């Protein structure tokens, strides 16, 4: 296993999830890393979306350890067994993540022809290959026409064959180039949407912002990085008011989270249980009509044969361990009631497009399998079936006019048909967009606690032997101090800058402390090894340590410079005899000679230049 941590600790106080994140090493065949922040209110189906995506991608997990391995095992239980207990609700301040990969051949096999061509064009230079093929065909046709005294059937046929061969050859070369890029590593972040628009909203935004910024700093020309939020829209939970649901609150915040993608602000709205939308929004229906929805999971065949005590899935939005006739009515969630026009506006009329700078896409699918829907007139709460009244509490709104029975099977589903092409195409465009690639490479960040050292990495312009970071910079002093170049480490406190009359003293003390900090510093040792030395600096320190005199610290170098300058001034000062002889020579000169000696040079400081 060759994975390295992305963060040395938690970047946001009170938020947990970044310290356990790892990334593939430089030698692993990974062509892109994508972070998907899956957001939605409790019961909207975040876990269902993640497991559907994993099944659709035919994804696999790299070797993981620690917390990442536990997260992977929890979600894999649900992926492999749709009736396994769902992971517990995410507590506030905790954002688990699930790491998976998809191989390039698996991605290509699930894309249609248009999706493949678009992917080749973005990542493998298909446009240039076809342009060269067209130019070659034109050149061949013109050459044959010149040799045969004019364009004839042979010239046209040869040019056509050359063009066809060039097109097929360009496809073959582009496919090989894409397959060499390596796998796509996708990290699903389970963000509790009910906490995002409340008091801890700034913490969640800072959490995802730190994630995207750190990942983007580590992107290279050979490994792309992209970040995008995914917002879940559950039609059953949209309610009766256009702006009264949890989805509408999160939808207003979606552009802010999409902006964390830097120059590529993209977002995806996943509308699950779309079969309900088709049933609630038929043509010529009364848009202001209220409709109650009664979701009921159906046991699969093998569980149904086991008897009435077989385990079945829970209806969306129901509370756990509180259903049944003996449960208090206020412990059960109320029967969902929606307005037809609200569902139509958010789920049916919404289209792909741009929302300001954000590129917004919609994914429509059904989280259930073998769905069956039926509609009947609403009479009263007491007239409903006993199992419905045992599962739900009476609706809080005015009594609806209609009741839709929604029966589904909670099986191992995946995105199918158009939903499959939409999701895979969106993911491929996100991962391999030209703006997703970084620079030539950056120096590794070796930061301590976030509150002590500001260690934002800088581009590596000088090479591996001359790396430097803003938090710990290496300087070299040449022969001006009479010794070989030696490294000096500079540090600065990002949160407690010096102020007042003692600013210079505090800065000098901080420089000395950082430059003399070493592995024995805490133990009271005198090891003055600077922090974060490059290979060149370590070789210079080794050479200086092999001499009788050790390398000087920062304050020692400054004292040495002052002493050398003072000695030089003292050695150049004239003696008493030389001063007396000069005074006598000056007194022997005539007044005109004395005046000429005191005039400034022509063109010098204070001269008129004439």
Instruction: Point out the least confidently predicted range of 296-305, 335-344, 416-425, 480-489.
Output: 480-489
**448 falls within a domain:** no
Contacts of 147 (CB under 8 A, 6+ apart): none
pTM strictly above 0.75: no
What pLDDT, on a 0 to 100 scale, did the predictor assign at position 605? 38
Neighbours of 367 (CB within 10 A): 22
- 460 has a pLDDT exceeding 90: no
What pLDDT, on a 0 to 100 scale, did the predictor assign at position 96? 92
pLDDT digits (tens, 9 = 90+) for 114-139: 777 877 777 777 788 888 888 888 88
**291 falls within a domain:** yes
In this structure, what are the phi and psi dihedrals at residue 98, rounded to the nearest 5 degrees? -130, 125
**Proportion of the chain in helix, strand, coil states, percent, rounded to 5:** 40, 20, 40
What pLDDT, on a 0 to 100 scale, did the predictor assign at position 187? 95
- Residue ending a domain, among 143, 177, 211, is 177
What pLDDT, on a 0 to 100 scale, did the predictor assign at position 1? 58
- Residue ending a domain, among 533, 551, 568, is 568
Q: Mean pLDDT throughout 401-422?
A: 87
Q: Same structural domain for residues 219 and 294?
A: yes
Residue 185's SS3 state is strand
The tally of domains found in the chain comes to: 3
Q: Mean pLDDT throughout 78-104?
A: 79
**587 falls within a domain:** no
Which range of 249-258, 398-407, 571-580 scores highest in mean pLDDT? It is 249-258
Whole-number Å distance between alpha carbons of 202 and 206: 6
- 276 has a pLDDT exceeding 80: yes
Q: Which residue range forms the structural domain that includes residue 513?
A: 467-568
Q: Same structural domain for residues 340 and 484?
A: no
What pLDDT, on a 0 to 100 scale, did the predictor assign at position 195? 75
Q: Same structural domain for residues 492 and 505?
A: yes
Q: Mean pLDDT throughout 414-419?
A: 89
For 20-43, what is the HEC assignment?
Answer: CCEEECCCCCEEEEEEEEEEECCC
Beta bridge partners of residue 22, listed in sequence order: 5
Which residue has tokens 């069956």? 372
Tell me what the pLDDT averaged over the chain comes to: 72
Residue 3 is inside which H or E element, if any? Answer: strand 3-5
Query: Checking DSSP bridges between strand 183-192 and strand 97-102, what pairing results, if any?
Result: antiparallel
- 397 has a pLDDT exceeding 50: yes
What pLDDT, on a 0 to 100 scale, did the predictor assign at position 107? 81
Q: Same structural domain for residues 271 and 400?
A: yes
Residue 481 in tokens: 């101090």
Q: Same structural domain for residues 267 and 351?
A: yes
Cα-to-chain-centroid distance, residue 161: 46
**458 falls within a domain:** no
What pLDDT, on a 0 to 100 scale, did the predictor assign at position 38? 95
Q: Mean pLDDT throughout 155-184?
A: 84
Rounded to whole angstroms, what are the CA distances from 24 to 6, 435, 503? 10, 21, 43
Q: Same structural domain for residues 194 and 213?
A: yes
- 200 has a pLDDT exceeding 80: no
What pLDDT, on a 0 to 100 scale, did the predictor assign at position 113? 81
Length of the chain, in residues: 610
pLDDT digits (tens, 9 = 90+) for 321-376: 333 344 444 557 888 899 999 999 999 888 899 888 899 999 999 888 888 888 88
What pLDDT, on a 0 to 100 scale, did the predictor assign at position 586? 60
Contact assessment for residue 454 and residue 525, using Cβ atoms and an 8 Å cutoff: no
What pLDDT, on a 0 to 100 scale, did the predictor assign at position 518? 40
> Which of 259, 210, 230 has the alpha carbon at shortest distance from 16?
210
Residue 508 is inside which H or E element, if any? Answer: helix 503-515
**443 falls within a domain:** no
What pLDDT, on a 0 to 100 scale, did the predictor assign at position 150? 83
- 19 has a pLDDT exceeding 80: yes
**279 falls within a domain:** yes
DSSP letter string, 68-110: HHHHHHHHHHHHH-TTSPPPPPPPTTB--EEEEEE-HHHHHHH
**111 falls within a domain:** no
Residue 283 in tokens: 């043509």
- 304 has a pLDDT exceeding 60: no
pLDDT digits (tens, 9 = 90+) for 496-512: 333 443 444 444 444 34
What pLDDT, on a 0 to 100 scale, did the predictor assign at position 489? 35
Residue 300 in tokens: 């699969």
- 73 has a pLDDT exceeding 50: yes
Q: Same structural domain for residues 282 and 333?
A: yes
Which range of 261-275, 308-322, 485-499, 529-543 scores highest in mean pLDDT? It is 261-275
Q: Same structural domain for residues 31 and 168?
A: no
> Which of 378, 243, 235, 252 has the alpha carbon at shortest distance from 317?
235
**576 falls within a domain:** no
What pLDDT, on a 0 to 100 scale, did the predictor assign at position 600? 43
More confident residue, 467 or 545: 545
> Which of 171, 159, 83, 156 has the alpha carbon at shortest distance from 119?
171
More confident residue, 93 or 474: 93
Neighbours of 540 (CB within 10 A): 19
More confident residue, 245 or 186: 186
Tell me the torsion sign for CA atoms 365, 371, 372, 377. negative
Beta bridge partners of residue 34, listed in sequence order: 186, 226
- 319 has a pLDDT exceeding 70: no
- 21 has a pLDDT exceeding 50: yes
Instruction: Point out the least confidently predicted range of 137-151, 357-371, 531-545, 582-596.
Output: 531-545
Neighbours of 37 (CB within 10 A): 26
Instruction: Point out the least confidently predicted range of 8-12, 272-276, 362-366, 503-507.
Output: 503-507
Query: Checking DSSP bridges between strand 224-233 and strand 30-40, what pairing results, if any?
Result: parallel
Q: Mean pLDDT throughout 102-121?
A: 80
What pLDDT, on a 0 to 100 scale, did the predictor assign at position 82? 66
Q: Same structural domain for residues 68 and 207?
A: yes
What pLDDT, on a 0 to 100 scale, did the predictor assign at position 300? 54
Whole-number Å distance between alpha carbons of 184 and 427: 10
Contact assessment for residue 221 and residue 67, using Cβ atoms and an 8 Å cutoff: no
């Amino acid at each position: 296993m060759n994975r390295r941590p992305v963060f040395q600790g938690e970047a946001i106080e009170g938020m947990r999830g970044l310290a356990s994140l790892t990334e593939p090493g430089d030698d692993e065949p990974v062509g892109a890393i994508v972070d998907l922040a899956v957001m939605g209110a409790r019961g909207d189906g975040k876990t269902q979306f993640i497991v559907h995506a994993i099944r659709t991608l035919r994804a696999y997990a790299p070797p993981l350890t620690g917390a990442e391995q536990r997260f992977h095992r929890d979600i894999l239980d649900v992926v492999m067994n749709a009736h396994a207990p769902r992971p517990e609700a995410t507590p506030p301040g905790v954002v688990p993540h699930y790491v998976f990969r998809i191989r390039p051949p698996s991605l290509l096999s699930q894309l249609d022809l248009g999706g493949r061509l678009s992917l080749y064009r973005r990542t493998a230079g298909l446009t240039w290959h076809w342009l060269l093929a067209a130019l070659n065909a034109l050149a061949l046709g013109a050459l044959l026409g010149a040799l045969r005294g004019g364009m004839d059937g042979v010239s046209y046929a040869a040019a056509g064959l050359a063009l066809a061969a060039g097109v097929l050859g360009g496809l073959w070369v582009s496919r090989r180039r894409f397959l060499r890029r390596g796998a796509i590593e996708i990290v699903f972040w389970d963000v509790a949407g009910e906490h995002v628009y409340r008091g801890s909203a700034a913490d969640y935004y800072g959490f995802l912002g730190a994630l995207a910024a750190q990942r983007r700093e580590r992107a290279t020309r050979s490994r792309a990085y992209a970040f995008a939020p995914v917002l879940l829209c559950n039609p059953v939970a949209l309610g009766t008011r256009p702006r009264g649901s949890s989805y509408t609150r999160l939808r207003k915040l979606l552009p802010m989270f999409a902006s964390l993608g830097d120059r590529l602000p993209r977002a995806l709205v996943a509308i699950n249980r779309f079969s309900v939308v088709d049933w609630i929004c038929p043509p010529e229906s009364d848009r202001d009509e209220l409709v109650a929805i009664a979701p009921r999971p159906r046991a699969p065949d093998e569980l149904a044969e086991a008897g009435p005590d077989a385990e079945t899935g829970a209806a969306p939005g129901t509370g756990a361990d509180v259903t049944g006739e003996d449960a208090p009515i206020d412990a059960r969630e109320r029967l969902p009631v929606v307005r037809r026009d609200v569902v139509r506006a958010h789920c049916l009329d919404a289209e792909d497009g741009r929302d300001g700078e954000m590129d917004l896409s919609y994914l429509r699918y059904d989280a259930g399998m073998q769905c069956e829907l039926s509609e009947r007139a609403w009479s009263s709460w007491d007239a409903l079936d006993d199992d419905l009244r045992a599962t739900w509490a009476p609706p809080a709104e005015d009594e609806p006019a209609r009741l839709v029975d929604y029966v589904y099977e909670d099986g191992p589903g995946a995105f199918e048909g158009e939903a499959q092409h939409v999701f895979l195409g969106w993911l491929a465009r996100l991962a391999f967009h030209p703006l997703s690639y970084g620079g030539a490479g950056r120096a590794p960040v070796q930061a301590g606690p976030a509150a002590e050292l500001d260690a934002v990495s800088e581009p590596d312009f000088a090479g591996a032997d001359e790396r430097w970071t803003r938090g710990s910079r290496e300087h070299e002093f040449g022969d001006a101090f009479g010794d070989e170049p030696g490294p000096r480490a500079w540090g600065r406190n990002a949160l407690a800058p010096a102020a007042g009359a003692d600013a210079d003293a505090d800065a000098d003390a901080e420089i000395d402390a950082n430059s003399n900090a070493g592995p024995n510093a805490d133990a009271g040792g005198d090891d003055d090894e600077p922090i974060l030395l490059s290979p060149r600096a370590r070789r210079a320190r080794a050479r200086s340590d092999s001499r009788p005199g050790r390398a000087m610290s920062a304050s020692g170098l400054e004292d040495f410079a002052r002493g050398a300058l003072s000695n030089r001034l003292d050695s150049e000062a004239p003696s008493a005899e030389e001063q007396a002889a000069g005074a006598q020579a000056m007194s022997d000169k005539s007044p005109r000679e004395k005046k000429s000696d005191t005039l400034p040079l022509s063109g010098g400081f204070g001269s008129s230049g004439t």
